[in-house]
A and B are shown apart, each in its own frame.
Chain A
């Protein structure tokens, strides 16, 4: 059974720091991995999607990497800003045609001005 873990559960940093958010998964047979952002009381905003054949994806100040064999993904946020404050979730889709995205519990990020 696929399990996704995000540690730590919360992180508070001063503005301007470069951040690394971690995601680990127990079954390396994944189809893809997706990073989301969730603001309080809101839905999820898709940030990056990495296919299992890819090693990384970049969008603006965000860079996500995938190491399938070790069951890990990291989301790198460069030059953090107060507007980056949100909960970040990762989710994996396992191989075998499953419709199910398995989510982690998320990491709550606070960037202080």
Chain B
């Protein structure tokens, strides 16, 4: 089983709050990813990173931001949460190259 962790697992928060979703992996993987998944729908890539100090936007436009200060840590931040941000957020990592991606358990975010 892959060693990739996400906290919190569930978060219910009011509109306008700033939130940070945590993602950590202990596999030493260079590449890390954030996906967004709505119920019954496909996963969509919102951010990715090739390594420390590297961040790129994915296909799906997102108001969130990410940072990669350490190899093992790839947090996602929403400065002002809105109901439209309600979704499941999944973090993943992989070795360099186009290798298998390993996923964390996800954070289910509900913004009231």
Which residues of chain A have a CB within 8 Å of any CB of chain B? 4, 31-32, 34, 36, 41-46, 49, 89, 91, 93, 97, 99-106
Contacts and interface: CB of A to CB of B under 8 A. Distances in A.
A40 B1 CA distance: 18
Contact of A100 (B2, B59, B99): B59
A43 B101 contact: no
Interface residues of B, number: 27
Contacts of A32: 98
A57 B101 CA distance: 16
A92 to B, nearest CB: 11
6 contacts: A4-B42, A36-B103, A41-B106, A43-B104, A99-B45, A101-B101
B58 interface: yes
Given A46-B103, A93-B98, A106-B42, 6 more contacts: A44-B43, A45-B103, A46-B100, A91-B43, A99-B33, A99-B58
